Amino acid sequence: MGQITFASQAIFEKHSRKSKREVFLEQMDQVVPWRELLALVDPHYPKAGNGRWPVGLAIMLRTYFLQPWFNLSDPGMEEAFYESPVLRRFAGVDLGMAAAPDETTILRFRHLLELHELCGEMLMTVNESLDSKGIRINRGTIVDATIVSAPSSTKNSKKQRDPAMHQTRKGQQWHFGAKAHIGVDSKETVVHSVATSAAGVADKQMLPD
């Protein structure tokens, strides 16, 4: 990552210690093959021109990973950058140089990955890297899911309510959107597969995927 300004320097306190979040992100910084992922996405990422200067690809890529790790929506991710210096340092966001990526920029980056069908390739790249380091061991899979909420007014390219998004109830609260079903290695707790569906689809229906 590039050099940061004094606005983003950590405060050195006598009795400070690293949080679990900080330790986790340090591990992910070492484990995830960032260079390979950057090379995969870079040909499709907007370059600086006459319009708005794009946010750095490295920042957007790390933001994309932070969201599922900490279950953050697009607005929640934007807010978290202003609240957490730990997340800013990991992503390379320097408020002394520029604002954090806003929710619209985060959404557009995810749509860019989906448009060029890069999500699956990225997952394969990560898994291959983990396999090469002997980290991933396929002795069993735990499947969990997270709801990806969307405004009820969300429409597809045909200006119709997106049929891939449904309403579902979790606890006492109703949600509208999609669901990400996540397969995790039961020993190493490493994600090895992700399948998406409408929010109302049960996890067991997605096990073959």
pLDDT band at 35 (very low <50, low <70, confident <90, very high): very high
Q: 197: which residues sit within 8 A by CB, 6+ positions away?
A: 164, 178, 179, 181, 205, 206
Q: Is the pTM of this model over 0.75?
A: no
Low-confidence winner among 8-17, 122-131, 160-169 (lowest mean pLDDT): 8-17
Digit-coded pLDDT (tens) for 54-85: 789 999 999 999 998 998 999 999 999 999 99
Q: Which residues pair with 176 in a beta bridge?
A: 167
CA distance 22 to 180: 25
Q: How far is CA 182 from CA 7, 126, 143, 171, 189, in A?
A: 37, 15, 6, 20, 11
CA distance 102 to 122: 23
User: With contact defined as beta carbons under 8 Å apart, do 168 and 175 qualify?
Assistant: yes
